[in-house]
Structure 1
Amino acid sequence: TTQAIIGSDGILQHREKYENCGECVFYRKPDVCRIVEGPVADDQVCNWIQGRTGDKEDEEKRKYTVDDVRAFVWGLMVRQPFSHKVVDVEHTTEGWLILIEDTADPPHYFSLSLPFYIEHTSLEHHHTQEEVDSITRTGKEMDFKPPVNFEEASQLYSTGELTTEAFEPFRRAHDAERSK
């Protein structure tokens, strides 16, 4: 069972708090969940957790829209909701690409198309339109791409474009890395 989480800003969050209902069959036999109708593959989670119902019309209704892609991605860079970090965005001849950094050491980088990112985060991470609009507003308030690493943050800090408060997390992470 789950319950939605309302963030400190009063906005319904994409993540949910899970409680053990005692009927969970994630990664185990039998292959049919007794709570959610439908099959559960051996190495998968049920369709309810994934957010995919098989009803294309329902899934299409739950997808959000983005009116300003660059502002949305810049907002994501500041309000990182996932362990995979959004680090850049670029408009190409094929459309918008969102550059992602994973949690490996050293990190891997990969790009996702905007349509794939929207489908994935709306159906599998339960992003809401309200949350996306709030993230986009955060990005619209910026007049430069937010830094994603110590080097970028240092450069912006040295020119006075980044406040001490915004720079400190980058400095602390850099110092911790150097002390290893």
Structure 2
Amino acid sequence: MNSGQKLTALDEAQAIPAGSPYTITVTNSGQFVDDWGVRYSATGLPLTKVTSAPLQGQYSVRSGVYTFAAADASAAVLISYRYSSATGVQLNIRQQLMGFAPTFQILLNELYAGKQANLLLYSCVAEKLSWATKNEDFLVPEFDFEAFSNAGGQVMDLYLAE
């Protein structure tokens, strides 16, 4: 177990400046870890991440500084990213490398009583995705998956406030 954790800033509300430079420095830029996407506030539509020179509907990011196109000036956006914190604990679980399958990474985030808990699963394989629909009832999505180790032997990181 290690001290410190990685927290998630989920949908941090920002506005792209009206004039150049069209950059936003996120609140926790000094502890920035990685980007988890940008969406337009008004529509919820995601912007596309590029390495440099973004056009309208695109952005680039480096060390917590997000750069946008002039065509997106004054647009309200929601930025999601992870950042490190010296508080809390981190538990890393490892496993021997297993066989090959198409995988994806999941970041699960929960906020309770003003404290964040984050679980990063490095390598997952989906088993089932269904949308149970009932007449005049709620849509209940069901998503089953399994978590495995990645090439570095990492299974998950658990970040807790206490």
Q: Which has the higher contact order (CA 8 A, sep 6+)?
A: 2
Q: Which has the higher helix share?
A: 1
TM-score range, shorter chain: under 0.3
> Would you tell me which structure has more strand in proportion to its own residues?
2
